[in-house]
Amino acid sequence: MKLATVVLAAGLGTRMKSALPKVLHPVGGKPMVQQVIETLQFLKPASSVVVVGPENEGIRHALKDLPVSFAVQKEPRGTGDACKAAVRVLKKFEGTLLVVSGDTPLLTAETLHEFLRLHRRRKEDISVLSFIAGDPHAYGRIIRKGSTVAAIIEDRDADAEQKKIKEVNSGVYALEAPLAKLLGEIRLNEGKGEYYLTDLVHIAAGKGFRVGAHPLGNETELTGINTRDDLYRAGLYLRDRVLARLSGKGITFMDKNSVFIHPGVEIGEDTIIYPNVHIEGRTVIGSGCVLYPNSRIIDSVLGNGVVIKDSTLIESSVVRDRAGVGPFAHLRPGSVIGPSAKIGNFVEIKQSVIGEGTKASHLSYLGDAEIGNGVNIGAGTITCNYDGRKKHKTIIEDGVFIGSDTQLVAPVRVGRGAYVGAGSTITREVPSLSLALSRTAQHHIENWALRRQERDSAQKPLRNGNRKGSGRTAARGRKKEE
Ligand code: UD1
Ligand code: CA
C-alpha cells in the first residue's frame, strides 16, 4: 500500500512568543520540523509534503537536503485548511496519507510503524494516534462511542464532562485517500476562526466510515511543543535518551545533568566525559578518550585515547589518536591534529595540518599552516597569514624547532630540521638544517645603570621644586646616552 506523508508546519506558533517560526526551534540541535521529516523518512513514503506559510524561506532552507515538496497555506486558517493545501499538491494520490504535526519532534518511527500496522489491520478509513495525558488540557479529547470514535473535541470547545477525558489526540492521523474529499465539509470553528482537521473524525463517523483511535506510545514522545517550557522539557527528554544510549555502550559520564550531546553523535567505549561538555552535530569520538569540563565539540572526529583538557572549543576538525588539546584551546574549522600531537594552553589553530608528535604548547596562532612531524612550536609563535587582502600558507617541515615569540610572515617555508631563534620575524624561506635569526643583536652599555643612579641623585632637589621640568630633563638625558 502506497504511503504519502503530510507535515503541518504553517501555524504561527504564537504561544512561543518568538520571531522564529515555531517549527524551526531546535530540539537536540535540529529544527523540530527537520527532526519530524527525518523520522518520517524511515517509513519510506512515496511522497512527502510539508505545509508552510507564505514566508517560508527558513523552513525550505532547513529542509533543503530532504526529499520533500512544499504546499503553501496562504493564511493560517487552521489544521483542516493546512491539510487541504497538502492534498492539492498530492493531486490524485491513491493510498494512505499519514498526517503529522511539525511540532511533535520526539515521535519515533517505531510508534508510527505500529500505528500504520493497526490502521491497516483494522481496515480503518481514518485512524488517530492517541495517548493518555497526565495533563490533557492542551489537547483535543477523544470522544469514544462504543467500539468506535465519534469525535475529537478541542479543550476550548469541551464541556466539563469531556474535559475529564484523559485520552487525547496526538495530531497524527492515517487516512485513506478518498477521505480527503471530506476536508471540504469541515466548517469554520467560530470561536477560534479556524478549520479544525479534528472535525474530519466527526464528519467521517457520521457518514459510516470506519474510525479508530489507538493509544500508542507514551506522553513524552507525543508531546506537542507549543510553549518554551514544552521546548525545554523536550530537549531534556531527548538529552536523557541520548545519554542512556551512550551509557549502555560503555561511556562514563561524571554528571549527566550538565552534559548535552546531539542524537547523531557516536562515542567509543571507556571514554570519560566530565561535567559541562557539549558534543554537537555529526561528531564521532573514539574509545578511551577523556573530555575534561567545559568543552564544546562540533562536527568533529576524535580518534582513540584523545585527551581534551578543560574549556576547549573544537569545530569541524580532526584530532588523531592519543593527541592532547587544551586547556583553553580553539581548533577552528579544517584543522587536523596528528597522532600524539600536543596543542596546549591558549593555542588557536585554523585550517592547518599538525603532524605526528608535534607540540604547540602555549599561546600560539597557527592559521593556514602545514606543519610536519616532530616539530616544536615555541610559546607565542604566530603565523601572519593575512596581508589585509589574502590568506597565505606557512609550511614548516619535519623536525623543525621554532623558538618562542616567532612571527612567520606567510607565504613562507621552514625547511626540514631547521631552527628558528626566539623572537625572530621570518619573511623568507629558511633552508633545511640551518639556523634562522632575525632579531637585532644584543649589545651592552657598560655601567649604564650606575650612571643613571648618579644622574638621578644630582637632579633630586630640582625635581622637588619643579616636577614637570625635571622629568623632561631626565628623559632628554636618557635619549642622549642611548
Ligand atoms: C492540535 C489538534 C489537537 C491535538 C494537538 C496535538 C487541531 C484543531 N487540534 O492542536 O486536537 O491534540 O494538535 O499536538 O488540529 N498548522 C498549520 N496551519 C494552521 C494551523 C496549524 O500548518 O493554520 C500546523 C502548526 O504549524 C502545527 C500543527 O499544525 O505544526 C498543529 O497546530 P497547533 O496550533 O500546534 O495545534 P494544537 O492547538 O496543538
Ligand atoms: Ca501543537
Residue type present at position 298 = I
In this prediction, residues 365-378 reach a mean pLDDT of 98
For ligand 1, atom 10, name the residue with the nearest CA: 139
Quick check: 409 and 385 in contact, CB under 8 A? no
Look at residue 210 and tell me whether its pLDDT is greater than 90. Answer: yes
In this prediction, residues 443-460 reach a mean pLDDT of 94
Which residues have a Cβ under 8 Å from the Cβ of 362 and sit 6 or more positions away?
Answer: 344, 345, 346, 347, 379, 380
Atom of ligand 1 nearest to the CA of 104: 14
Look at residue 96 and tell me whether its pLDDT is greater than 70. Answer: yes
Cβ–ligand 1 contact at 338 (below 6 Å): no
**Tally of CA atoms within 13 A in the half-sphere of 88 that contains its CB:** 12
Q: Is 362 a catalytic residue?
A: yes
Cβ–ligand 1 contact at 197 (below 6 Å): yes
Look at residue 142 and tell me whether its pLDDT is greater than 60. Answer: yes
Which residues have a Cβ under 8 Å from the Cβ of 286 and sit 6 or more positions away?
Answer: 268, 271, 302, 303, 304, 305, 306, 321
Quick check: 292 and 327 in contact, CB under 8 A? yes
Cell of 235: 530537549
Look at residue 32 and tell me whether its pLDDT is greater than 70. Answer: yes
What does the mean pLDDT of the chain come to?
A: 94
Look at residue 209 and tell me whether its pLDDT is greater than 70. Answer: yes
Q: Which SS3 state, helix, strand or coil, does residue 237 take? A: helix
Look at residue 154 and tell me whether its pLDDT is greater than 50. Answer: yes
Look at residue 478 and tell me whether its pLDDT is greater than 70. Answer: no
In this prediction, residues 289-302 reach a mean pLDDT of 98
Distance in Å, CA 243 to ligand 2 centroid: 27
**Where does the pLDDT of residue 4 fall: very low under 50, low under 70, confident under 90, or very high at 90 and above?**
very high
Look at residue 475 and tell me whether its pLDDT is greater than 60. Answer: no
In this prediction, residues 57-79 reach a mean pLDDT of 96
The CATH superfamily label for domain 3-222 reads Spore Coat Polysaccharide Biosynthesis Protein SpsA; Chain A (3.90.550.10)
In this prediction, residues 363-390 reach a mean pLDDT of 98
Q: ∠ at Cα 419 (418, 425), nearest 5°?
A: 115
DSSP 391: B
Euclidean distance between CA atoms 58 and 372, whole angstroms: 43
Give the pLDDT of residue 147. Answer: 83
Residue with cell 612550536: 377
- State phi, psi for 315 to the nearest 5 degrees: -120, 130
User: Between the CA of residue 465 and those of 183, 200, 454, 460, 469, what are the distances in Å?
Assistant: 99, 99, 19, 9, 9
Quick check: 198 and 79 in contact, CB under 8 A? yes
Give the pLDDT of residue 461. Answer: 65
Cell of 209: 466510515
Cβ–ligand 1 contact at 103 (below 6 Å): yes
Q: Note every long-range contact of 68-74, with CB atoms under 8 Å and residues 24 or more positions apart, other chains counting.
A: 68/7, 68/37, 72/10, 73/10
Cell of 49: 509534503
Cβ–ligand 1 contact at 226 (below 6 Å): yes
Of the candidate ranges 179-183, 344-348, 465-469, the one whose mean pLDDT is the lowest: 465-469
User: Between the CA of residue 203 and those of 130, 151, 187, 208, 398, what are the distances in Å?
Assistant: 18, 8, 10, 9, 77
Indicate which ligand has the atom closest to the C-alpha of 186: 1
Beta bridge partners of 280: 298
The pLDDT tens digits of the residues spanning 381-416 come to 999 999 999 999 999 999 999 999 999 999 999 999
Cβ–ligand 1 contact at 196 (below 6 Å): yes
Give the pLDDT of residue 463. Answer: 52
Instruction: CATH 2.160.10.10 in the chain: give the residue spans.
Output: 244-436
Look at residue 479 and tell me whether its pLDDT is greater than 60. Answer: no
Beta bridge partners of 12: none
In this prediction, residues 459-472 reach a mean pLDDT of 55
In this prediction, residues 114-142 reach a mean pLDDT of 97
Query: Hey, which of 101, 103, 132, 203 would you mutate to test ligand 1's pocket, going by the most ligand atoms within 8 Å of its Cβ?
Result: 101
Distance in Å, CA 198 to ligand 1 centroid: 9
User: Between the CA of residue 425 and those of 6, 132, 309, what are the distances in Å?
Assistant: 63, 71, 31
Q: Note every long-range contact of 360-368, with CB atoms under 8 Å and residues 24 or more positions apart, other chains counting.
A: 366/394, 367/332, 367/391, 368/392, 368/393, 368/394, 368/410
The pLDDT tens digits of the residues spanning 166-195 come to 999 999 999 999 999 999 999 999 999 999
Q: Global pTM?
A: 0.87
Give the pLDDT of residue 217. Answer: 79
Look at residue 482 and tell me whether its pLDDT is greater than 50. Answer: no
For ligand 1, atom 16, name the residue with the nearest CA: 11
In this prediction, residues 328-357 reach a mean pLDDT of 98
Cβ–ligand 1 contact at 130 (below 6 Å): no
Euclidean distance between CA atoms 57 and 70, whole angstroms: 11
- Say how many residues make up the chain: 482
Indicate which ligand has the atom closest to the C-alpha of 230: 2
Distance in Å, CA 169 to ligand 1 centroid: 10
Whether residue 67 is preceded by a cis peptide bond, meaning omega within 30 degrees of 0, is no
Give the sheet arrangement for strand 324-325, strand by strand: 252-253, 272-273, 290-291, 307-308, 324-325, 342-345, 359-362, 376-377, 401-402, 419-420, 435-436
Cβ–ligand 1 contact at 312 (below 6 Å): no
Torsion of CA 262, 264, 268, 273, to 10 degrees: 0
Indicate which ligand has the atom closest to the C-alpha of 202: 1
**Where does the pLDDT of residue 218 fall: very low under 50, low under 70, confident under 90, or very high at 90 and above?**
confident
Euclidean distance between CA atoms 29 and 37, whole angstroms: 15
Distance in Å, CA 95 to ligand 1 centroid: 24
Distance in Å, CA 263 to ligand 1 centroid: 26
Instruction: CATH 3.90.550.10 in the chain: give the residue spans.
Output: 3-222
Question: DSSP per residue over 128-139, as a string?
Answer: EEEEE-SSGGGS
Cβ–ligand 1 contact at 21 (below 6 Å): no
In this prediction, residues 232-254 reach a mean pLDDT of 97
Look at residue 470 and tell me whether its pLDDT is greater than 70. Answer: no
The CATH number given to 244-436 is 2.160.10.10
Closest CA to 385 of 332, 431, 434: 332
Cβ–ligand 1 contact at 136 (below 6 Å): no
Indicate which ligand has the atom closest to the C-alpha of 100: 1
Look at residue 468 and tell me whether its pLDDT is greater than 70. Answer: no
Q: Which SS3 state, helix, strand or coil, does residue 181 take? A: helix
Cβ–ligand 1 contact at 225 (below 6 Å): no
Closest CA to 139 of 106, 112, 114, 163: 163
Quick check: 355 and 376 in contact, CB under 8 A? no
Distance in Å, CA 224 to ligand 2 centroid: 5
Residue 390's Cβ-count burial label (10 Å; 0-12, 13-18, 19+) is: exposed
Euclidean distance between CA atoms 230 and 223, whole angstroms: 8
For ligand 1, atom 13, name the residue with the nearest CA: 171
Closest CA to 214 of 138, 131, 274, 276: 131
Euclidean distance between CA atoms 175 and 135, whole angstroms: 27
Look at residue 465 and tell me whether its pLDDT is greater than 90. Answer: no
Distance in Å, CA 15 to ligand 2 centroid: 10
Exactly one of 113, 214, 362, 444 is catalytic; which is it?
Answer: 362
